[in-house]
């Protein structure tokens, strides 16, 4: 291993055009003996800087020797800002929404010694070499089908499907009743439906699918092929909106909220959109089923608001105190869960009917059923670029490419990228 900090720092800046300007500098010591802990966060319409400052204020009040500075990475987001800040020697103390990866792990503090990290949601799934590098506050559940209850009733469907085969049969009834079956779109969301169809079975049948695919021990066509074929069949039969590739995420979501489609595969954050919508359709949610014969369908889920501490931090103890507060203080957790529509068993907050339905799903899903989606996380990670490739190939599927050709393209991609 070569440590050439200055060369890389200069190289990074000069060769790829990264600027030094941007975020504020990392934490430091103030003259009055106070320690300043910097917290780099994603600022969004929900998670405003003001909201973040309010969130950490009780911690600052309880710890007068620690001052928390909220850092806003701006449009580039946390994931892009961290490498730049690292290269510039201005790493923040704590980073939010940056799940650990094998690439990032060497830059993070090992939190294995803290119970609040090892007992946090999905903590085990995110370990790398048995070490806990992050602590989160809840779950973003992803293998979900939101459905229009009126559409189901109009098609004579009285119960939500429990297998992919039943879902296919329901889609046929919906089409017969004049409904667009599945609402999907272009952008990043094209592959969402395919993954919602496939992952519950693929992971249930191959619990180590991520590791084995990364090691070249399994192939995409042999594990995911049935799901690709099923989804291609649905596309061919007209169960998916035919303008999918020209629809952006926000438009797709609005179409479903407006009652223009019967099913919408999306993550738990959609509940917040439904709650904020004016006069939305009558919407329910069910857990994505697996193919017949699968005992426990896998449930795609990501950690909500994962916090990591950078190894570069000069205030690691103070940073650990801050993260402990953020992931254990009940009010702080509920505040964070509620603002972004996330969930955690045992943490109820005021929510609508759809939120309650979703919380039931979370409560009834055993911990070992959870699986990463897309690229994966922790040790369950696929080769870099998988998410964009599966999305591109799903778009090809929507454009009329055959399931066999998509399987072959994915196999070729894995061959090129594995090892």
Partner 1 sequence: MLTDNAPSATVRAAVIDTGSRRRPSVRWGDRLAGLAMAAPAVVVFVAMFIVPMILAFVLSLTDWNGYSLRFDFIGLENYRFAFRNPRTIDAAVFTAVIAVVGTILCNALGLALAALVSAPGRANTVLRTIFFYPYIISALIIGFLWSALLAPHGAVNGVLAGLGAGPVPFLTDPAFAKATVILTIVWAHFGFNMILYIAGIKSVPTEFYEAATVDGASRWQQFRSITVPMIAPVVTVNLVLTLVGLLKVYDVVLALTDGGPAASTQTIVYQILKDSFAQSRLGLGAAQSVVLLVITAAIGLAVTFARRGAERKVTD
- Closest distance of CB 1 from partner 1, Å: 5
83 burial via Cβ count (<10 Å: 0-12, 13-18, 19+): middle
Q: Indicate which single residue of 293, 385, 404, 418 sits in contact with partner 1 (rule: CB under 8 A).
A: 385
Q: Tokens at residue 10, please?
A: 């200069």
Q: Indicate which single residue of 62, 80, 169, 276 sits in contact with partner 1 (rule: CB under 8 A).
A: 80
DSSP β-ladder status, 144-148 and 94-96 = unpaired
Cross-strand bridge partners of residue 95:
40, 308
Question: Is residue 86 involved in binding partner 1 (CB under 8 A)?
Answer: yes
Q: Indicate which single residue of 60, 107, 329, 348 sits in contact with partner 1 (rule: CB under 8 A).
A: 107
Question: Is residue 404 involved in binding partner 1 (CB under 8 A)?
Answer: no
Residues 230 and 292: their CA atoms lie apart, in Å, by 13
Residues 170 and 157: their CA atoms lie apart, in Å, by 7
Between 247 and 361, whose beta carbon lies closer to partner 1?
247
Cα-Cα-Cα-Cα torsion 418, 139, 115, 375, nearest 10 degrees, comes to: 10
Residues 82 and 92: their CA atoms lie apart, in Å, by 8
Between 5 and 57, whose beta carbon lies closer to partner 1?
5
Residues 282 and 376: their CA atoms lie apart, in Å, by 33
Per-residue binding letters, 246-275, with partner 1 (x by CB under 8 A): xx----------------------------
Contact 136, 298 (CB under 8 A): no
Contact 136, 121 (CB under 8 A): yes
Please identify, among the stretches 4-12, 48-56, 153-161, 334-342, the one whose residues bind partner 1 according to the rule CB under 8 A: 4-12
Question: Is residue 75 involved in binding partner 1 (CB under 8 A)?
Answer: no
Between 247 and 281, whose beta carbon lies closer to partner 1?
247
Question: Is residue 399 involved in binding partner 1 (CB under 8 A)?
Answer: yes
Tell me which residue of 298, 160, 159 sits closest to 223, measured CA to CA: 298
Per-residue binding letters, 219-248, with partner 1 (x by CB under 8 A): ------------------------x-xxx-
Q: Indicate which single residue of 9, 154, 275, 277 sits in contact with partner 1 (rule: CB under 8 A).
A: 9
Question: Is residue 141 involved in binding partner 1 (CB under 8 A)?
Answer: no
Question: Is residue 104 involved in binding partner 1 (CB under 8 A)?
Answer: yes
Q: What are the backbone angles phi and psi of residue 301, rounded to the nearest 5°?
A: -155, 145
Residues 28 and 63: their CA atoms lie apart, in Å, by 16
Report DSSP letters for 373-387, one per residue.
-TTEETTEEPPTTHH
Question: Is residue 7 involved in binding partner 1 (CB under 8 A)?
Answer: yes
Question: Is residue 87 involved in binding partner 1 (CB under 8 A)?
Answer: yes
Question: Is residue 5 involved in binding partner 1 (CB under 8 A)?
Answer: yes
Question: Is residue 162 involved in binding partner 1 (CB under 8 A)?
Answer: no
Between 95 and 202, whose beta carbon lies closer to partner 1?
95
CA atoms within 13 A on the CB side of 85: 30
Between 238 and 352, whose beta carbon lies closer to partner 1?
238
- State the DSSP H helix or E strand holding residue 265, giving kind and residue range, or none if neither: strand 263-265
Question: Is residue 417 involved in binding partner 1 (CB under 8 A)?
Answer: yes
Between 345 and 409, whose beta carbon lies closer to partner 1?
409
Contact 224, 407 (CB under 8 A): yes
Question: Is residue 2 involved in binding partner 1 (CB under 8 A)?
Answer: yes
Report DSSP letters for 346-378, one per residue.
T------HHHHHHHHHHHHS-GGGEE--TTEET
Between 87 and 155, whose beta carbon lies closer to partner 1?
87
Between 3 and 61, whose beta carbon lies closer to partner 1?
3
105 burial via Cβ count (<10 Å: 0-12, 13-18, 19+): middle
Question: Is residue 187 involved in binding partner 1 (CB under 8 A)?
Answer: yes
Q: Indicate which single residue of 252, 398, 403, 407 sits in contact with partner 1 (rule: CB under 8 A).
A: 398
Q: With CB under 8 A, what is the number of residues at the site for partner 1?
A: 45
Contact 218, 209 (CB under 8 A): yes
Between 124 and 312, whose beta carbon lies closer to partner 1?
312
* Sites of contact with partner 1 (CB under 8 A): 1-5, 7-12, 14-16, 80, 82-83, 86-87, 103-104, 106-107, 186-187, 243, 245-247, 384-385, 388-389, 392-393, 395-396, 398-399, 401, 409, 412-413, 416-417
């Amino acid at each position: 291993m070569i440590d050439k900090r200055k060369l890389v720092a200069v190289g990074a800046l000069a060769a790829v055009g990264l600027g030094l300007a941007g975020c504020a500098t990392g934490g430091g010591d103030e003259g009055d003996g106070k320690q300043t802990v910097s917290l780099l966060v994603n600022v969004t319409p929900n998670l405003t800087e003001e909201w973040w400052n309010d969130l950490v204020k009780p911690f600052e009040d309880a710890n007068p020797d620690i001052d928390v500075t909220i850092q806003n990475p701006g449009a580039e987001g946390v994931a892009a800002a961290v490498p730049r800040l690292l290269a510039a020697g201005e790493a923040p103390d704590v980073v939010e929404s940056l799940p650990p990866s094998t690439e990032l792990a060497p830059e993070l503090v090992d939190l294995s010694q803290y119970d609040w990290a090892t007992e946090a949601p999905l903590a085990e799934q995110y370990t790398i070499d048995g070490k806990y590098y992050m602590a989160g506050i809840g779950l973003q559940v992803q293998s979900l089908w939101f459905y229009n209850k009126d559409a189901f009733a109009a098609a004579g469907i009285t119960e939500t499907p429990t297998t992919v085969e039943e879902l296919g049969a329901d889609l046929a009834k919906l089409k017969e009743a004049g409904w667009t079956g599945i609402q999907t779109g272009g952008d990043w969301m094209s592959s969402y439906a395919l993954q919602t169809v496939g992952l519950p079975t693929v992971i249930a049948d191959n619990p180590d699918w991520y590791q084995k695919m990364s090691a070249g021990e399994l192939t995409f066509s042999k594990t995911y092929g049935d799901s690709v074929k099923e989804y291609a069949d649905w596309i061919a039969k007209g169960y998916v909106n035919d303008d999918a590739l020209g629809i952006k995420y926000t438009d797709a979501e609005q179409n479903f909220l407006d009652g223009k489609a019967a099913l919408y595969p999306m993550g738990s954050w959609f509940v917040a959109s439904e709650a904020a919508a004016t006069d939305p359709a009558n919407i329910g949610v069910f857990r994505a089923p697996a193919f017949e014969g699968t005992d426990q369908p896998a449930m795609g889920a990501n950690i909500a608001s994962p916090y990591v501490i950078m190894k570069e931090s000069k205030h690691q103890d103070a940073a650990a105190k801050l993260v402990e507060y953020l992931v254990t203080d009940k009010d702080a957790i509920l505040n964070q869960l509620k603002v972004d529509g996330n969930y955690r068993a045992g943490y109820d907050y005021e929510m609508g009917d759809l939120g309650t339905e979703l919380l039931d799903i979370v409560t009834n899903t055993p911990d070992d059923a959870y699986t990463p989606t897309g690229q994966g996380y922790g040790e369950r990670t696929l080769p870099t670029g998988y998410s964009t490739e599966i999305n591109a190939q799903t778009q090809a599927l929507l454009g009329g490419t055959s399931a066999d050709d998509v399987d072959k393209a994915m196999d070729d991609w894995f061959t090129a990228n594995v090892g």
